[in-house]
Amino acid sequence: MMMKKIEVKVCIHSHKCKRDVLHSVTKLQGIDQVSVDSEGILTVIGNVDPVSVATRVRKTGKVPKLIRVGPPEAKENPPPKPLRLYVYLTAVVTNASL
């Protein structure tokens, strides 16, 4: 099974609603990341079935609306920092007659 990014619209009015939805969905196996934004969009990333996510949300008494199911967005790797080489010079003083 491949990694998926599932976005579900859920009507969330309070912190208790948000907590209940998150608590219910996090019980599923194969989830890597779960979040809910201020607009009520539940985002689940992992190896999980979208129907099972909707079923868990429905068990909390909320009406889920699947927005998008697809591969997670690939993170861009920043270019590597240039390697800095430091050279330390030391002077060797010998016993010289003055």
More confident residue, 95 or 65: 65
When pLDDT is cut at 50, 70 and 90, the band that residue 85 belongs to is: confident
Mean pLDDT value across residues 46-54: 94
Per-residue pLDDT tens over the stretch 11-26: 998 999 999 999 999 9
Domain positions in the chain are 4-70
Beta strands in the chain (DSSP E): 4-9, 31-36, 41-46, 65-70
Residue-level pLDDT at 97: 61
What's the CATH fold of domain 4-70? Alpha-Beta Plaits (3.30.70)
Is the pTM higher than 0.85?
no
Residue 52 host element (H or E): helix 50-59
